[in-house]
Structure 1
Amino acid sequence: MPSRPSQVAGTCPALCWWIWSRAPWTLRSGPFGQIFRPDSFIFGQSGAGNNWARGHYTEGAELMESVMDVVRKEAESCDCLQGFQLTHSLGGGTGSGMGTLLLSKIREEYPDRITNTFSILPSPKVSDTVVEPYNATLSVHQLIENADETFCIDNEALYDICSRTLKLPTPTYGDLNHLVSATMSGVTTCLRFPGQLNADLRKLAVNMVPFPRLHFFMPGFAPLTSRGSQQYRFLTVAELAQQMSDAGNMMAACDPRHGRYLTAAAIFRGRMPMREVDEQMFNIQNKNSSYFADWLPHNVKTAVCDIPPRGLKMSATFIGNNTAIQELFKRVSEQFTAMFRRKAFLHWYTGEGMDEMEFTEAESNMNDLFLSIDSIRMPQPRRRRRRGLELSFSR
Structure 2
Amino acid sequence: MPLSREIVNVQVGQAGNQVGENFWEMLLAEHGLDRTGQFKGSDPQQMQRTGVYFTEVEYGGTTRYVPRSVQVDLEAGVCDRLRSGPLGSLFRPDTFMTADSGAGNNWAKGYYTEGAELVDSVLDVVRRQTEACETLQGFQIVHSLGGGTGAGLGCLLLSKLREEYPDRMLATFSILPSPKVSETVVEPYNSLLAVNQLIDNGDLTICIDNEALYNICQRTLKIKTPGFENLNNLISRVMCGVSTSLRFPGQLNGDLRKIGVNLIPFPRLHFLMPAYAPFFGTGASAYEKNNCSELTKALFDKQNMLVAVEPRHGRYLTAAVIYRGDIASREADVSVRDLQTKNPQHFVEWIPDKISVSLVTVPPVGQKRAATALLNSTSIQELFHRNLVAFAAMFKRRAFLHWYTGEGMDAMEFSEAESNTQDLIAEYQQYQEAEAFEDEEEFEESTNGVNGAEEEEESEQ
- Native 8 Å contact 1:223 1:233 kept in 2: no
Which residue number in structure 2 is paired with residue 174 of structure 1? 229
Cα distance in 2 for partners of 1:258, 1:66 equals: 45
- 2:34 maps to which residue? none
Q: 2:220·2:281 contact (CA, 8 Å) conserved in 1?
A: no
Q: Give the whole-Å Cα distance in 2 for the aligned partners of 1:87 and 1:248.
A: 23
Q: Which runs of 4+ in 1 moved over 6 A?
A: 227-234
Question: Are 1:7 and 2:56 matched, yes or no?
Answer: yes
Q: Give the 5 Å matches for 1:308-323.
A: 308-323=363-378
The answer (yes or no) to whether the contact 2:276–2:305 under 8 Å persists in 1 is yes
Q: Which residue of 2 aligns with 1:392?
A: none
Is the 8 Å Cα contact of residues 153 and 180 (structure 1) preserved in structure 2?
A: yes
Instruction: Give 1 or 2: higher helix fraction.
Output: 2
Unaligned runs of 5+ in 2: 1-6, 10-51, 58-63, 446-461
Normalising by structure 2, report the TM-score.
Answer: 0.81
Asked if the contact 2:251–2:360 (Cα under 8 Å) also holds between the matched residues in 1, the reply is no
Which residue in 1 is equivalent to 2:402?
347
- Residue 345 of structure 2 corresponds to which residue in structure 1? 290
TM-score by length of 1: 0.94
Q: Deviations over 1:115-148 (max 9, x none)?
A: 0000000012322200000000000000000000
Matched, 1:255 2:261: no
Contact 2:253 2:359 in 1 (8 A): no
Matched ranges for 1:75-114 at <5 A: 75-114=130-169
Q: Distance in 2 between matches of 1:157 and 1:96?
A: 20
Let me know the Cα RMSD of the aligned residues: 1.9
Question: In the alignment, which residue of structure 1 is the partner of 2:45?
Answer: none
Letter in 1 for 2:385: K
1:204 aligned residue (233, 238, 259): 259
For residue 133 of structure 1, what is the aligned residue in structure 2?
188
How far, CA to CA, are the matches of 1:15 and 1:164 in structure 2? 35
For residues 151 and 89 of structure 2, what CA distance do their matches in structure 1 show? 26
- Superposition pairs of residues 33-48 of structure 1, within 5 angstroms: 33-48=88-103
Cα–Cα, structure 1 residues 211 and 113, in superposed 2: closer, same or farther, change >3 Å? same
Does residue 376 of structure 1 match 2:431? yes
C-alpha change, 1:221 and 1:346, in structure 2 (3 Å) is: same
Cα distance, 1:165 vs structure 2: 1.4
CA pair 313-34 structure 1, distance change in 2 beyond 3 A = farther
In structure 2, C-alpha distance between the alignment counterparts of 1:78 and 1:117, rounded to whole Å: 20
CA distance in 2: counterparts of 1:312 and 1:184, whole angstroms = 16
1:240 maps to a residue whose letter is L
Partners of 1:97 and 1:231 lie apart in 2 by 45
Number of equivalent positions: 386
User: Gaps (5+ residues) in structure 1?
Assistant: 387-395
The alpha-carbon distance between structure 1 residues 144 and 269, as it changes in their structure 2 partners (threshold 3 A), is: same
Q: Identify if the C-alpha distance between structure 1 residues 59 and 384 changes in structure 2 by more than 3 Å, giving closer, same or farther.
A: closer
Question: CA shift at 1:377, angstroms?
Answer: 1.3
